[in-house]
Amino acid sequence: MQHRSKRSRAIALPNSELRTRATEYLDFLAAWVKKPRQTASVVPSSRYLARLMVEQIDPAGGRVLELGGGTGVFTRAILETGLPADHLEVVEINPAFASGLRRHFPSVSVLETPAQIVSTATAGEPGDYQVVVSGLPLLAMDRHVHADILSEAFRMLRPGGCFVQFTYSMRPPVNREILDTLGLDVVRDGHTVRNFPPATVFRFFRR
């Protein structure tokens, strides 16, 4: 009897989440094969990392900008906070990923614009955004790109807003000299081993 009960529960489990994760993995692997430095990992981020990434979001607090939407793991977590879809814009320059994001999140604006000049394409104005959530592979970029991305992100953020970034290192992915030049500081917001590779989340903010 107990064995039949376990089988019944297993059969009743929904397959939609498994299909979504399988699709995300295959899409991510294909992107990594084509552009390994741009994609930086062979698997998409986990839902455990996604939860850490969205902790700073107030669903009633205004607009949010996501950089590097990928397969939509963070996009989904952002919307699950209760943030209205029309308050979220996702930047993704990989055409295949951008197409997938539009298909899975039709109410979200997807911008195929480099993060360094995102203000040229956003619906919101500089100062309208509460949080920038970044899935960009900063460790694969040089320090001048870091400076350009952070400068543009904080141009879009309102006073008190923050830039949230994950990395596979225990150290912040941005050089202290760049932070000093931009008048920024950084704190470690969390770490999860339930991601491959294990990841650390950092929060950047104005001094």
Q: Is residue 182 part of a domain?
A: yes
Q: Is residue 41 part of a domain?
A: yes
Question: Does residue 111 sit within a domain?
Answer: yes
What is the chain's mean pLDDT, rounded?
87
Judged by average pLDDT, the poorest of 24-33, 51-60, 69-78, 170-179 is: 24-33
Domains contained in the chain, number: 1
CATH number at residue 167: 3.40.50.150
pTM: 0.82
Q: How far is it, in rounded angstroms, from Cα 173 to Cα 168?
A: 9
pLDDT (tens digit, 9 = 90+) per residue, 23-67? 555 555 555 455 554 444 546 889 999 999 999 999 999 999 999
Residue 11 has pLDDT above 50, yes or no: no
Does a structural domain hold residue 2?
no
Residue 26 domain-assigned (yes or no): yes
Q: State pLDDT tens for residues 105-125.
A: 999 999 999 999 999 999 999
Instruction: With both helix axes pointing from N to C terminus, report the angle between 95-104 and 16-34 in degrees, rounded to the nearest 10.
Output: 160
Please indicate, yes or no, if residue 4 is contained in any of the structural domains. no
Let me know if residue 7 belongs to a domain.
no
Full residue range of the structural domain in which residue 43 is found: 15-206
Kindly state whether residue 21 falls inside one of the protein's structural domains.
Answer: yes
